[in-house]
Amino acid sequence: MNEEILSLYRAYNVAMAADDTTALDRLLAPDFTLTHMTGYVQPRAEWLGELQRGTMRYFSSAEDHVAVTATDDGWRVVGQNRVVASIHGSGKYEWPLNTDMMVQRINGDLQIMGAVVTTY
């Protein structure tokens, strides 16, 4: 089971780095939120819209470490990736991002329920 969860986490990072909102649309639960390192809790539709408009642009995501833990209602995935991005017109920078996400199986499909991003 952990391999399936790891694959989901990695697919999320690949889709994010490719600005692939179609893939992210399949991976994210309808009520998904992304809590940014600033503390801003961004709704799913707003984040995907920023990716589509290019106001948030991701270029690459290189995995350093990832761990999966089973919970009562799904899985917790904590991963560290070095992410290159340009956010709201900033330059292109690399951030060491820690992503703490919750995953559940909904109607047979794995879905990312939410993610909290900080630096490491």
pTM check: above 0.75 = yes
What does each C-alpha distance from 76 to 4, 17, 25, 96 come to in angstroms?
13, 21, 20, 19
Which tens digits make up the pLDDT trace of 43-91? 999 999 999 999 999 999 999 999 999 999 999 999 999 999 999 988 9
Question: What residues contact 18, with CB distance under 8 A and at least 6 apart?
Answer: 58
Residue 57: name the closest of 29, 24, 26, 93 by CA.
93
The alpha helices in the chain, defined as continuous H runs, are 2-17, 21-27, 44-53
